[in-house]
Structure 1
C-alpha cells in the first residue's frame, strides 16, 4: 500500500507528525487496536524503480543494494472518513533512513508500507493499566489513553529529553501521568525502572488487582522493567505487552541485526522467574 504526504508537523524538537492521504488508502483495513503498526519501506536514493513499488517484487527482481530499508511505525491515528493515516516519527539529527525521510518529507511525497498489524488494546477486564515507554512508544500510549473509558485507571510513565519534548495526552480515564526527563548521562538508563520500582501497587485505586502492562521503548530499559514486573511484582507474561523498539548506542540497522536474539534472551529471563 502507499499514501502521499498531506501534512507535516513538528510536534517537538524530536518528533515529526506525517499525515498521509490518497494513494490506495481507500483499501486500508485498520485493526481494532491501539498499537496498530505499518512496515514502511524506504528505497535508496539511486533506486531504479518507481516511487510506488511492491517491496516483495523489488526484493525478487533487484540487487540487494536497491532493496528498501524496512522500519516499523505505530499508527497514531486513522481517519476512515478523510482516508488519512497519521504516523509520528522520532527524529535525531539526520540519522537513519526513516529519520531523514521524515525530516525532509514534503507534500506529495510517497510512503510505501505493508500492514497494518497489531497486538494490543487496553482490556476492559484489566484492574488497571500500566503504560511505560519513551518517545518511540508515545503513539501507542496516546492511542491507548484515548481508548480508555470513564473510570478506567492508568498509570503512565514516559521518558523524554525535557519539557519541550512532552506532548498533550487526552483520556476519559483516570490517569496518573509523569514525564521522566533525561539527564544526558548514565542515569538515563535507570529512569524508567526507578519510576516503576517507586510505584505503590497497593495504593487506593490500584489494589483491586494486577495491572496489564504495556512496556515499550529502549531495549535495555524495557528488559529491566520487564524483569522487575515479573520477578518483584508477580505479574505473568500474559499480563504484559513488551517490545524493545531500539537500543542505546546502536544504529537502526545494527539493532535490527540482533533484535531477534535479544528478544530471545528476554524470554529466557522470564523463563528463569
Structure 2
C-alpha cells in the first residue's frame, strides 16, 4: 500500500502535516483506535527503487539501500475523500521520517503498511491525562478528540519552546499545560515534575503517556508510585531514547520495555 502526497503544512516548529491520497490507499481501513499508526518505509537517498515496491525486491539489497521502517501516528482518516493525514515530528535533518516530511512535495509517494493500534480513552474513566513530547503530540491530539463529551481531560506536553505549541481540541473539558525544554540541561524529569504538580483529578483516571523513554519512565513512576492511576488504566510506551539514533533505539527498545514493565514503582 502507498499514498501520494496531496499537501504538506508546517504545524508549530517541529511538526509537519502530510496528507496522502491516491489509488494506492484503496485498501486502507481504519481501526478506529485513538493511537492508530501505520508502518511507513522511508527510502535512503541512493535507493535504486521507488514506491510501490515488493518486500522481496529490497530484502537482499545492501543494508544502506534498504527502506527504513518507522511507525507514524494516523492523525485522521477521511473515508469520503480517501485521504490519510499524518503529523510527523521533524527536527531539521535528523531522522528519516522528519527529513522526508520536510522535503515532501505533492505527487511524492510513501509506502506504508497497516494500520494498527490498540488504545482508546477508557469510556468509564472520570477524567483523562495525556502526557508526552512532540513525537507523541499527534496521538495525544487524536486521544483528546476521542474522550467522552464533557469529561475533564488534561494534556501535559513538552516542546522546545513556545514556537512548538499547536492548538488542541476536545469534546471534553480540556486543559493544556505546555512544558518548554529551552534552558534545561537535563530535561528528562520535566514532564514528571509537571504531572506531579497537577491538582488531583476525579478518578478513575485514564492516562496515555508516550514519548521519550526516560521521560515516560519518570512519569510512570509518579502516576503509579503515588496512586494517581491504576496500572490497568495506563497506556505507557517509549517512542525514542535521548542520546540514541533511530537504529540504536530499535536495537534496545524491547529490553527497555520489558524492564519498564517489571519495575516496582512502589519500592
Specify the TM-score bucket, using the shorter chain as the normaliser: over 0.9
Write out aligned runs for 1:1-273 (5 A). Answer: 1-54=1-54, 56-201=55-200, 206-207=201-202, 209-233=203-227, 235-270=229-264
* Counterpart-to-counterpart distance in 2, 1:176 and 1:272: 29
5+ residue gaps in structure 1?
A: none
Check conservation: 2:122, 2:233, Cα contact below 8 A: no
TM-score w.r.t. length of structure 2 = 0.94
User: How far apart, in 1, do the equivalents of 2:249 and 2:111 lie?
Assistant: 22
The alignment partner of 1:186 has SS state of coil
The answer to which of 230-239 and 121-130 deviates more is 230-239
CA distance 1:61–1:188, shift in 2 (3 Å): closer
Task: Indicate if the aligned counterparts of 1:39 and 1:116 stay in contact, CA closer than 8 A.
Answer: yes
Secondary structure of the 2:111 match is strand
Deviation at 1:62, TM superposition (A): 3.2
Unpaired segments of 5 or more residues in structure 2? none
Structure 1 70/151 Cα, relative in aligned 2: closer, same or farther at 3 Å?
same
- SS of residue in 1 equivalent to 2:86: strand
Contact 2:59 2:66 in 1 (8 A): no
Query: Is the contact made by 2:5 and 2:104 (CA closer than 8 Å) also made in structure 1?
Result: yes
Task: Classify 1:20/1:89 alpha carbon distance in 2 versus 1 (closer, same or farther; 3 Å).
Answer: same
